[in-house]
Structure 1
Amino acid sequence: MELELSGKKAVVTGAGQGIGLAVVRALAEAGADVYGGARTVGPELREATKYTMEVDLATPDGPGRLVEAAREELGGVDVLVNNVGGGVSWAASFLDIDDDVWRRSFELNLFSTVRASRAALPGMVERGGGTIVNIGSANGRLADPQLAHYAAAKAALANLGKALSVEFSPKGVRVNTISPGPVRTRIWTKPQLAKQAGMTPEEFVRSVPGKVGLTTGALVEPEEIAALVVLLASGRIPSVTGADLSIDAGLLKIV
């Protein structure tokens, strides 16, 4: 399948590991020139692309600096993947989530996307079009008081994607959101979680699908998210815009 990405200029936030790194690799394999931004640029990201930048994307100027650097080095931006996110720290209850936690969650999960998109959109419109893909979360559709800060930020992100699509699709920029369920990243693979559960890391990862009710019986792989990003970024499905697509291994039974 011709994906029409050869020579396209792409920016990926949170590119250092997990989903972001998989997206960088997939876009590069499809022929795009990819600029990866991350707080720490390690050897895996440097191997995936020669265009990288160490940047704190939770700061007011971080996303804009990344987009501007990509524009200067690559000559423009055709694809923006707003992947950076996090702050998945469980609280005992809603009453234990203080203002600092709320602020950090929204800075990272929502405002980073607001700022990167605001920086990239004028150039995309000037170039005649482009694509923005936001990486949300199935938590945006789940009621979980222990993760209220994170879930609310991801719900807002999905709404933002629809709003941007309404305004910018007529100008040639498609905007979509991907909302993954539990993905095989360090959130689930870090040894501390396994130790707390009295398991080896491998045993803990195998136990997660049953614990959270994944009908496929397995965590989502980062490469699956990356494959969907590439398809959305390509010219193969030009009618898909304003969508919030779940890839959640059957987590969401009723929405």
Structure 2
Amino acid sequence: MNPTELFNLKGKTAIVTGGANGIGKASCEMLAAFGAKVVVSDYNLEQAKKTSKEINDKGGNSIAIDCDVTKDEALVNLVDKTMAEYGSIEILVNNVGGGGAGRESPYDIEVTQFQKVFEMNVFSTWRLCQLVAPHMKKAGYGSIINMSSMASINKSPAISAYASSKAAINHMTRNLAFDYGPDNIRVNAIGPGAVRTNALKTVLTPELEKAMLKHTPINRLGEAEDIAGAVLYFAAPISSWTSGQIIFINGGGEQTLDM
């Protein structure tokens, strides 16, 4: 065992969707810090370029590519541009996700809204896996990391579209691990708990935070870097015999709002 090689990502290329901010940005920075060439993919190209520049200014190797994951031509373009720039793809972080958590009452939403959540969270993830797999097979190394959520196993009101889409991510991850395993491609997923991203900060109050931490043994909310650490583990050689797994990063508990 050579300890220095366990987390060495030099010579490997990583695509991170939704990489401009939050967990995506922290993942880009983490992977770059351990030697990966990183493609910061985001629908907000200017913000993606800013994140990419920050990585490069610290000595990393990164480019930004705009991508709306709900459009197939954008997914194809993302993979094609990555191959043109770096010549290989070894790591994919399917980080993009969305939904109306707490705003998905079946009495109020339309079926088209439900469909859009699945298009963003499930269909785009599956399609990108399909697009990168041949390149990973050729490279002889592949790690696909899908972003799930604690919502995939919790039960809460007005979140049925988002929660069921993340549950689909869990089972899809386990099944794709069987499909791609023979080609030395690992497929795993991460289920974050409540993470102190900009989106959460806009609604967070001291009272809300206290309620969320009532059933959390490690008595703090997560940080984006906490999730990026799990991304690094799955991306790196240290997890070379780990596939089809969903790891929940949640401080040991559930950040629910019951008082």
TM-score (norm 2): 0.87
1:12 and 2:16 correspond? yes
Report the AA paired with residue 240 of structure 1. T
Report the AA paired with residue 148 of structure 1. S
Contact 1:209–1:218 (CA<8 Å) still a contact in 2?
A: no
Q: Residues 234 and 99 of structure 1: is their aligned pair in 2 closer, same or farther, counting only changes over 3 Å?
A: same
Report the AA paired with residue 101 of structure 1. Q
State the Cα distance separating 1:206 from its structure 2 match.
4.0
2:53 pairs with 43, 46, 52, which one?
A: 46
Matches within 5 A, 1:205-244: 206-207=209-210, 209-210=212-213, 213-244=215-246
Aligned residues: 243
Deviations 1:116-172 (A, max 9, x none): 111100111122231101111010111223100000000001111111101111210
13-22 or 52-61: bigger deviation: 52-61
Q: Residues 7 and 89 of structure 1: is their aligned pair in 2 closer, same or farther, counting only changes over 3 Å?
A: same
State the Cα distance separating 1:216 from its structure 2 match.
1.8
| Alignment-derived partner of residue 152 in structure 2 | 140
1:82 pairs with 86, 94, 105, which one?
A: 94
Identity of aligned residues (%): 31
Q: Residues 121 and 217 of structure 1: is their aligned pair in 2 closer, same or farther, counting only changes over 3 Å?
A: same
State the Cα distance separating 1:207 from its structure 2 match.
3.4
1:101 and 1:204 map into 2 onto residues whose CA distance is 31
1:29 and 2:33 correspond? yes
Deviations 1:202-244 (A, max 9, x none): x367435336x32322111110111111111111121110001
Q: Residues 51 and 214 of structure 1: is their aligned pair in 2 closer, same or farther, counting only changes over 3 Å?
A: same
1:152 and 1:94 map into 2 onto residues whose CA distance is 13
Runs (5+) with no aligned partner, structure 1: none
Root-mean-square deviation over aligned CA pairs: 1.9
Contact 1:23–1:223 (CA<8 Å) still a contact in 2?
A: yes
1:246 pairs with 240, 245, 248, which one?
A: 248
2:51 and 2:65 map into 1 onto residues whose CA distance is 13
1:39 and 1:106 map into 2 onto residues whose CA distance is 17
Deviations 1:74-96 (A, max 9, x none): 10100011101122342373322
Contact 2:40–2:51 (CA<8 Å) still a contact in 1?
A: no
Q: Residues 236 and 123 of structure 1: is their aligned pair in 2 closer, same or farther, counting only changes over 3 Å?
A: same
Deviations 1:52-93 (A, max 9, x none): 112211222222221221111110100011101122342373
1:102 and 1:73 map into 2 onto residues whose CA distance is 36
Q: Residues 205 and 27 of structure 1: is their aligned pair in 2 closer, same or farther, counting only changes over 3 Å?
A: farther
TM-score (norm 1): 0.89
Deviations 1:191-212 (A, max 9, x none): xx25xxxx5xxx367435336x
Contact 2:52–2:63 (CA<8 Å) still a contact in 1?
A: no
State the Cα distance separating 1:101 from its structure 2 match.
1.6
Q: Residues 108 and 210 of structure 1: is their aligned pair in 2 closer, same or farther, counting only changes over 3 Å?
A: same
Contact 1:64–1:115 (CA<8 Å) still a contact in 2?
A: no
Contact 1:9–1:34 (CA<8 Å) still a contact in 2?
A: yes
Runs (5+) with no aligned partner, structure 2: 57-61
1:220 and 1:90 map into 2 onto residues whose CA distance is 20
1:167 and 2:194 correspond? no
